[in-house]
Structure 1
Amino acid sequence: MKPTISTIGNYEEQTITIGCWLDNKRSSGKIAFLQLRDGTGYIQGVAVKNELGDEQFQAVKNIGQESSLYVTGEVRKDDRAPSGYELAVRNVEVIHDTIDYPITPKEHGTEFLMDHRHLWIRSSRQHAILRIRDVIIQASYRFFQEHGFTKIDPPILTANSAEETTDLFHTKYFDEDAYLSQSGQLYMEAAALAFQRVFSFGPTFRAEKSKTRRHLIEFWMIEPEMAFCDHEESLEIQEAYVTAITQAVLKEAKAELQTIGRDTSQLEKIEPPFPRIRYDEAIERLQAKGFDISWGEDLGAPHETEIATQFDKPVFITHYPQKIKAFYMKPDPENKELALCADLIAPEGYGEIIGGSERIDDYSLLEERFKEHQLSEEAYQWYLELRQYGSVPHSGFGLGLERTVAWLSGTEHVRETIPFPRLLNRLYP
């Protein structure tokens, strides 16, 4: 393996060459300080005129921001540096000299930065956020593999909706109507009856005309489904999973959290059990705080934020009214008006990051729900057949990756938590 900034500690007091880009630079008389990045990290290169010679030292001082370079230098210990090392520059070979790089150290507006998202992701903060995203993804795979889950990939093109919404992207599939998937859940239920514990990870699409800081048009979901699993066990798995990815970020993304300036004190409290309140109690708490909300109404972002402020961990809100939840959710045996479901609300105003439920496993009841919700039995016949051939109690949930990245990284808007966000008025770049 070639030396990289992330592995620089393996080469202390050795002379190495790294491929990198010039993030920034400053000079002081006969010394130039080069802030270098190679995609794995950042390091300062110290170029001294007496060691480089007049000609190369002057050339180094004139290199443009984001120029690509091969830099040769001696790795020196430096406890003041974030990486713990600096590079004493011995030679600089310019691969491509960049002129007039658009994103300078000065302040830029959000729209300008979004127009230049292909370059903005190089900046230290954006780079750190997307690194945290990767840590969460890798930790998710580890968690599910360690807990006996099989990775299954549901289709992106579907003939029907998972949640009967009209906010779907329509397309033609030859002579048929098709839609971009809003969830892989229905297909994952089929997979769970074949493999018992399964999970998917992929893009989902919702054509909601929303401009809030929590919404994207295209976003990524992690969706586990579990056979022989009731609502209570599912909640316990969700607690363990969220704890696992939080601990992974705290352990594996320390440098990135520091770059962002994330206060990790709240994250360090994340461990099971999470507090749980029923929908009834949530309504009472909101009314006590002066919110104009009645039983039977769904909770919006301000409601979720208020509930979250009353706890120092993620909080489950359970047992929503059946009529405001999806058709496939199993009714509470003790009160048929309620669903065996839960939303997990993240602290610090980041809203719902998980939605889950126990699924209806009774053929006749699901058939009734099709009629109540005016769903086509022909389109959903395969889904109904899962209750006809070996039906079992089963549960599942979906975690929205971008909202989770926003919460764990302390990022205000989800548009910064995905490499190339798709927003209501943005399809470029």
Structure 2
Amino acid sequence: MQKITIAQLPAHAGEQVKIGAWLSNKRSSGKIAFLQLRDGTGFVQGVVVKAEVGEEVFAQAKALTQETSLYITGEVKEDTRSSFGYELAVIGIEVIHEAVDFPITPKEHGTEFLMDNRHLWLRSRKQHAIMKIRNEIIRATYEFFNENGFVKVDPPILTGSAPEGTSELFATKYFEEDAYLSQSGQLYMEAAAMALGKVFSFGPTFRAEKSKTRRHLIEFWMIEPEMAFTEHHESLEVQEQFVAHVIQSVLKNCPLELERLERDTTKLEKIKAPFPRISYDDAIKFLNDNGFDDISWGDDFGAPHETAIAESYDMPVFITNYPIGIKPFYMQPHPERDDVVLCADLIAPEGYGEIIGGSERIHDFDLLKKRIEEHKLDEEAYKWYLELSKYGAVPHSGFGLGLERTVAWISGAEHVRETIPFPRLLNRLYP
């Protein structure tokens, strides 16, 4: 008998098959037992009918405990009542390992309890669905950049300098030198772009930011493209095409997961390029006109401000041209103004906040050197970065997309802690 996965069941309708699975839940009566089975590829119901399998197998099915591992044999049958569309008419059960007193039961549990048991919580239907959507976003990311001529480059995680200063970095010793866990691979990606034209990285980044909001993690993953010979407006087009591609890929390839999460997909189906744009100046005016007296020109936006702006659109919205004083040293000044830079943040709808930050980068050596001095950064540590604008400088732009915030938005997750397998939070380093 062929051993297959749950995901392969639809191709074997009417056949007898064998699957390896865990029992996630069960219910039974005097004559029939329903086994909720999972194997990592999906979920399926196994139906055990006493009259068809006999007393011994039926008694075995009724005695099964949650998360016991099994080999199940049965016939694949269509089931129009389930979203999966198939069920397994069980004829045989082989217990691999009996699980006793699995701590996460079908009842309600508190968040801290679930986080303490994150290694087991991942097995639940909701967490499974979020991880599958995360995986699809990753797959679609590689697809988009590979199809558009980008080269994958891996920047270092240990660095001797920081793109945005060292106030929110984790410091460590690198033998006799001071080093930091990377908060961004951007500067190294700029160097790679000068060699390879269009590049992207995809890796972990770290922010020693003492924040407990639903949008923040200490360790998270970033997608960071950099493009030579590319101006800011051209970068915005790449950003919106990338996000639209990811959305459409999830809608196409994760319908069961979105349904399991009860995600309103009509909101996602609207997401198509181009995205609306609003200047920082107009955003401040909009907020002030709508009762936000706590913000004025020169301030950065908080979560309530971003949410208010996003609620005026049913699409992601770019906020462009922020004040130079609240942005990093490497951003290119606006050609017609000396108080703002050529940058944009992409704000996701439904209160999920900023998912992309990007800008055109300074490529003038003297200006870049001046900015480094103004930000009181160690010029020696940035010597290599300055040399990028010394030897064949060109206009170039890039951006960074935060994976977990994007997963949260697309999946409808309430908190980013559910969008990464093992979240690192201000008060959590376990498990």
Give TM class, smaller chain: over 0.9
- Residue in 1 that maps onto 2:405: 403
The 5 Å alignment of 1:92-111 reads: 92-111=93-112
Secondary structure of the structure 2 residue equivalent to 1:428: coil
How far residue 2 of structure 1 moved from its aligned partner, in angstroms, is 4.4
3-state SS of paired residue (2:213): coil
1:29-54 deviation per Cα after TM superposition (whole angstroms, max 9, x unaligned):
11111011111111111111122221
CA distance in 2, matches of 1:89, 1:271: 45
TM-score (norm: length of structure 1)? 0.99
Measure the CA separation in 2 of the matches of 1:301 and 1:79.
Answer: 43
Alpha-carbon offset, residue 80 of structure 1: 1.1
Q: Which position in structure 2 is the counterpart of 1:90?
A: 91
- 1:336: Cα distance to partner? 1.6
SS in 1 for 2:239: helix
- For residues 304-344 of structure 1, the C-alpha deviation after alignment (integer angstroms, 9 at most, x for no partner) is 01000011100000000011000000000100211000000
Establish whether residue 259 from structure 1 lines up as the match of residue 274 from structure 2.
no
- How far did 1:165 drift? 3.9
Q: 2:335 aligns with which of 333, 336, 340?
A: 333
The aligned amino acid for 1:287 is N
Equivalences for residues 353-372 of structure 1 within 5 A: 353-372=355-374
Instruction: Say yes or no: does 1:186 pair with 2:187.
Output: yes
Aligned-pair CA distance for 1:273: 1.1
What is the aligned partner in structure 1 of residue 33 from structure 2? 32
Size of the aligned set, in residue pairs, is 429
Query: Which amino acid in structure 2 is aligned with residue 310 of structure 1?
Result: S
- Conservation of the 8 A alpha-carbon contact between 2:332 and 2:361: yes
Structure 1: 5+ residue stretches without partners: none
More deviation in 402-411 or 157-166?
157-166
- The residue matched to 2:340 in structure 1 has which SS? strand
Per the alignment, residue 134 of structure 1 pairs with 135
For residues 195 and 76 of structure 1, what CA distance do their matches in structure 2 show?
52
Post-superposition CA distance 1:234-275 (Å, at most 9, x none): 000001000000001111110000000000111111011111
Partner of 1:381: 383
> How far apart, CA to CA, are the structure 1 residues paired with 2:265 and 2:390?
49
The one-letter amino acid paired with 1:167 is E
Q: RMSD over aligned Cα, in angstroms? A: 0.8
CA distance in 1, matches of 2:16, 2:297: 69
Look up the SS of the partner of 1:331 in the other structure: coil
Identify the residue that residue 237 of structure 1 maps to in structure 2: 238
- Quick one: which amino acid aligns to residue 319 of structure 1? N
Alpha-carbon distance in 2 for matches of 1:78, 1:290? 53
Measure the CA separation in 2 of the matches of 1:89 and 1:310. Answer: 53
State the distance in 2 between where 1:198 and 1:54 align: 63
CA distance in 2, matches of 1:380, 1:316: 30
CA contact (8 A) 2:3 2:17 kept: no
2:190 is matched by which residue type in structure 1? E
AA at the equivalent of 1:111:
E
Q: Which moved more, 1:160-169 or 1:206-215?
A: 160-169
Task: Please report how far the alpha carbon of residue 60 of structure 1 lies from its aligned counterpart in structure 2 after TM superposition.
Answer: 1.3
Per-residue CA deviations over 1:200-221 (Å, capped at 9, x if unaligned) read 0000000000000000000000
**1:422 counterpart = 2:427:** no
Q: Deviations over 1:342-384 (max 9, x none)?
A: 0000000000000000000000000101110111110000000
Distance (whole Å) between structure 1 residues aligned to residue 349 and residue 51 of structure 2: 55
Residue 79 (structure 2) aligns with = 78
- Residue 22 (structure 1) aligns with: 23
- Output one character per residue of 1:164-192: Cα deviation in whole Å (capped at 9) or x when no partner: 14011000000000000000000000000
The one-letter code of the counterpart of 1:52 is V
Amino acid corresponding to residue 100 of structure 2 in structure 1: I
Q: What is the alpha-carbon distance in structure 2 between the residues aligned to residue 105 and residue 61 of structure 1?
A: 17
How far did residue 56 of structure 1 move?
2.2
More moved, 24-33 vs 169-178: 24-33
Q: Following the alignment from structure 1 to structure 2, what is the Cα–Cα distance between the partners of residues 272 and 51?
A: 56
Task: Measure the CA separation in 2 of the matches of 1:369 and 1:206.
Answer: 23
Name the CA distance, whole Å, in 2 between partners of 1:182 and 1:334.
31
Deviates more, 1:356-365 or 1:55-64: 55-64
